[in-house]
Amino acid sequence: MPSIPLPGEKVERVERTVAFQGYFRVARYLFRHSLYRGGQSVEVDREVFERGQAAAVLPYDPVRDEVVLIRQFRAGTFAAGRHPWCWEIVAGMIEKGETPQDVARREAIEEAAVEILDLVPLYSLVLSPGACSETCSIFVGRTDATGVGGIHGLESESEDILVQAMSFADALALLSRDEIDNSAAVIALQWLALHRDELRSRWR
């Protein structure tokens, strides 16, 4: 759930203009906000990467004790100077009229060719609150991982996605070797590590 305001925490938006509009949008915000020491800040000028709302799901097979991870090229990771192919969980942007649950199910089919049979909500997060407006609702989704794998994704969106079902132990090993470096995947796998026995009992 969103952060609960503490007493006196207020912000006033003075102006918003679009600084750049391409594949993504950057907006320039002018605002003033309350100060903990009392009074109000000077007018603050910030650019914000306006990304929208996303949903992500870690497909998990409680019978086989396997998770489904995907791997694809990422421009942001490339720009950060890292190896730009990343192990991730299924994710996508929420479109008009969709719920986060709708997106989790749709993207699981589009990106990994798996059906989500049940969903457990984990967290709704702001991924980079200092610079980006993107939020992400994260789920673990029950699936049957039998025969899952291959190359998937939408050609219309230039997606080239490697899909791999692996044991939960192997996924944790990747995590412990720092080979999974995106926040949604780390969060979902760590949550599953804490709640796996309970979830397997519920879903079997």
Burial of 163 (0-12, 13-18, 19+ CB in 10 A): buried
Does residue 157 carry a catalytic annotation? Answer: yes
Among the options 47, 111, 134, 157, which is catalytic? 157
**In the chain, beta strands by DSSP E:** 11-21, 25-33, 44-50, 53-61, 66-73, 85-88, 90-93, 118-126, 135-142, 149-152, 161-167
Nearest of 26, 104, 16, 23 to residue 60 by alpha carbon: 104
Task: Enumerate the active-site residues.
Answer: 157
